[in-house]
């Protein structure tokens, strides 16, 4: 898959209009409307093991809203039947390639109530909003793109020293798999495995 070099998004005017994506807005993450069946109010009760290892209920991931920079949480995705979280470094060619097929994954799993999350660590001047625009990740009700200042989310989800970390959650937000450098088929396979958890 060719590497896409991010290009600057248009700058907003003095009133804050324009810039970023022109996708519909809503919810805490302005990349797309919020799925009305998801939100913190439907988060399952935490199990005894809360953390970032396979078998743990996912602990809190502090992220930033792409558009506002406000502290956010992926709890807005509670209620999804499965979740794929991808921690991207913007300089990383594998991360860019993964972002390039994320819209295909989002379309493929939309009818299955699956949440798709990209958490973007800007380490080359590509902001979260630019990333979302370049890789066409706005306008999906099942996709969220967040900023990861300092790469803290990556540090929590990584299972090796390589970039391009993925985590998969079941409907109870239990981590079913952690891995790096997955292709589209492997991502879809891990989502199906997370969906199959009773």
Q: How does pLDDT run across 131-169, given as a tens digit for each residue?
A: 999 999 998 999 999 999 989 999 999 988 888 999 999
Domain map of the chain by residue range?
56-196
pTM (predicted TM-score)? 0.83
Residue 77 pLDDT: 93
- Reading the block at residue 79, the tokens are 């209620």
The CATH architecture annotation of domain 56-196 reads 3-Layer(aba) Sandwich (3.40)
Q: Each residue of 69-99: pLDDT tens digit?
A: 999 999 999 999 999 999 999 999 999 999 9
Pick from 144, 139, 110: nearest CA to 25: 139
Question: How far, in whole angstroms, is CA 21 from its chain's centroid?
Answer: 16
Per-chain mean pLDDT for the chain: 84
- Reading the block at residue 93, the tokens are 């060619």
Q: Each residue of 165-194: pLDDT tens digit?
A: 999 999 999 999 999 999 999 999 999 999
Q: Each residue of 88-128: pLDDT tens digit?
A: 999 999 999 999 999 999 999 999 999 999 999 999 999 99
- Reading the block at residue 76, the tokens are 């807005």
């Amino acid at each position: 898959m060719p590497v896409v070099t991010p290009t600057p998004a248009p700058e907003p005017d003095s009133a804050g209009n324009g810039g970023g994506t022109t996708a519909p807005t809503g919810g805490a993450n302005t990349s797309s409307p919020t799925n009305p069946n998801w939100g913190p109010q439907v988060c399952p009760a935490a199990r005894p093991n809360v953390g970032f290892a396979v078998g743990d209920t996912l602990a809190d991931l502090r992220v930033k809203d792409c558009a506002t920079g406000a502290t956010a949480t992926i709890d807005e995705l509670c209620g999804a039947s499965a979740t794929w979280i991808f921690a991207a470094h913007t300089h990383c060619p594998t991360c860019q390639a993964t972002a390039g097929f994320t819209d295909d994954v989002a379309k493929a799993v939309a009818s299955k109530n699956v949440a798709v999350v990209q958490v973007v660590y800007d380490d080359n001047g590509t902001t979260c909003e630019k990333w979302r625009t370049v890789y066409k990740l706005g306008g999906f009700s099942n996709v969220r793109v967040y900023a990861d200042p300092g790469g803290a989310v990556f540090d929590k989800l990584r299972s090796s020293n390589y970039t391009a970390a993925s985590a998969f959650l079941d409907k109870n937000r239990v981590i079913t798999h952690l891995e790096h450098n997955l292709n589209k088929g492997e991502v879809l396979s891990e989502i199906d495995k997370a969906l199959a958890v009773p």
